[in-house]
Amino acid sequence: DTEVTQTPKHLVMGMTNKKSLKCEQHMGHRAMYWYKQKAKKPPELMFVYSYEKLSINESVPSRFSPECPNSSLLNLHLHALQPEDSALYLCASSRLLANTGELFFGEGSRLTVL
């Protein structure tokens, strides 16, 4: 099983809503990532978890709140988002937190904030 599964695939929410994006992997990977990708832009790192602990927060606004309940799951809680937060949110995992390992990406969750 070499998949990273993200749900939902599409999400539309208002600025006052609270929603969550979910990511799951069963490859035994110990590092998991959230990337944000806007149209015609490269993916940009948001958060990194290593061994279920938050390792990196790339100055992401507090309206995005990550959570890693266990080694297989990664959530991104969304609250009071802005229309400019509309983007493709990509989850990824790697065997370990290192600079020489390939990342396995999910299909992404397409978020639209109205």
**Which residues in this chain contact another protein in the complex, by CB under 8 A?**
4, 6, 31, 33, 40-45, 48, 50, 55-56, 58, 90, 92, 94, 97-100, 102-108
DSSP-assigned letter for residue 88: E
Do the beta carbons of residue 13 and residue 82 sit within 8 Å? no
> Is the Cβ of residue 62 or residue 100 nearer to another protein in the bound state?
100
Rounded to a whole number of angstroms, the minimum distance from the CB of residue 15 to another protein is: 26
Question: 35 or 85: whose CB is closer to another protein?
Answer: 35
Q: Which is nearer to another protein, 87 or 90 (CB)?
A: 90
For residues 79-104, one letter each, b for 16 or more C-beta atoms within 10 angstroms of the residue's C-beta and e for the rest, the string is eebeeebbbbbbbbbbeebeeeeebb
